[in-house]
Amino acid sequence: MLETELIAKVTGADSENRTDQRFAVYGTDLGILWDGGDGRVFVLFGDTFGEGWGGDGGGPNSADWRCNVLGYSTTRELSKGLTLDGFVPREDGMAGQVIPRDGRRDEVTVIPNSGLAIDGRQYVHYMSVREWGPPGHWHTNYSGIAVSDDGGESWAKPQGSRWINRAERDDPFQMAALAHEGEYVYLFGTTNGRHGDAYLARAPVARLLDASAYEYRTESGWTWDEFAATPVLRGPVGELSVAYNVHLGQWLALHLDDPGGAILLHTADRLEGPWSPGHIAVPGRQFPGLYGGYLHPWALDGPDIYYLMSQWGPYNVFLMRTRLNF
């Protein structure tokens, strides 16, 4: 097991950021991180609740619920915590929802999965959740890539940037992690929920918003058929984050092993793999109800990595540090 410690609580009433008072963020989760390319790291949270929130995940349409809220940080010294300098605001100045809902009756929320900035544009992979099931299981309508040209203030959801889930609920790119290498954007995908394998797709950077431009990794190469993709990372994979670590000279993949009750860390020389067996980064017995695990892009050049982890009970987000001692 890796050497890991909790550095600070990032959100909630008793966090140093006091997001309850400053931004009406009493309870939230995820905290997807990416370098915005403008001196800020963006921090995108999932379902968020304000005053009147009763604890845990709550429920839609209660306690100032927002599907997602977008904060930002300029903190470079992470050893004492992650300061949130602000959020994209709504009219009253509090944190506002950024990625809009569809207005369809069969969509309960819009949850972000991963973020990426290229040439001044911000991209977020998200999922349209149709219904929640038992813990770790849910059903999506589709997933897609949203785009912002104004620093995250407003977002479009192009129709051509979507992966539609079938009635069988088996589309392999409903939750995803974005990565950029060379001329390609890569998409690590899983089926809806936390129990599938991870698959790999790629598209030229110039066509990353065109779902028809993606090709899918198989054991023998690349194909245009997403259902012919073969796993590159064996599951169960939940809430996946992928980034290149300069210190190791390898790619990192951090994700939840829901049945195993732990956040695992894998390494690989290439995005296609092979990926190492998972090292336990955070054990669930020490942090009950843990999930997530999103790598901080400004902490990838030394032996320590920092990332954001959620816990269901407090339904808030924590900054973690792990020493890469293998």
13 in a structural domain:
no
| pTM assigned to the model | 0.97
45 in a structural domain:
yes
Could you give the CA distance from residue 101 to residue 65 in angstroms, rounded to a whole number?
A: 13
Query: What is the pairing mode between strands 69-73 and 86-87?
Result: antiparallel
Residue 303's pLDDT is 95
Helices assigned H by DSSP within 63-144: none
Which distant-in-sequence residues (6+ apart) come within 8 Å of 22 by Cβ? none
Reported as a single tens digit per residue, the pLDDT across 65-95 is: 999 999 999 999 999 999 999 999 999 999 9
Reported as a single tens digit per residue, the pLDDT across 297-321 is: 999 999 999 999 999 989 999 999 9
Check which CATH number belongs to the domain holding 227 and give it.
2.115.10.20
Residue 59's pLDDT is 57
Strand partners, 127: 111, 143
Query: Which 3 state secondary structure label does DSSP give 300?
Result: coil
Residue 325's pLDDT is 86
Structure tokens at 256: 């939840």
Structure tokens at 317: 């987000």
2 in a structural domain:
no
- Asked whether 8 and 294 are in contact (CB, 8 A), the reply is no
46 in a structural domain:
yes
Residue 55's pLDDT is 76
Q: Which residues of the chain have pLDDT under 50?
A: none
Residue 224's pLDDT is 97
6 in a structural domain:
no
Could you give the CA distance from residue 211 to residue 263 in angstroms, rounded to a whole number?
A: 30
Residue 56's pLDDT is 66
- Asked whether 46 and 110 are in contact (CB, 8 A), the reply is no
256 in a structural domain:
yes
Residue 62's pLDDT is 77
Domain that holds residue 60: 22-323
Q: How many domains does the chain divide into?
A: 1
Residue 275's pLDDT is 98
Residue 58's pLDDT is 58
12 in a structural domain:
no
37 in a structural domain:
yes
- Asked whether 124 and 110 are in contact (CB, 8 A), the reply is no
Could you give the CA distance from residue 242 to residue 228 in angstroms, rounded to a whole number?
A: 22
- Asked whether 34 and 297 are in contact (CB, 8 A), the reply is yes
DSSP of 72-136: EE----GGG-----EE-B-TTSSB-B-S-----TT--EEEEEEEEEETTEEEEEEEEEEEE-STT
Residue 322's pLDDT is 98
Q: Which contiguous run of DSSP H or E holds residue 307? A: strand 304-311
Query: Which 3 state secondary structure label does DSSP give 85?
Result: coil
Say how many Å lie between the first and final Cα of the chain, rounded. 10
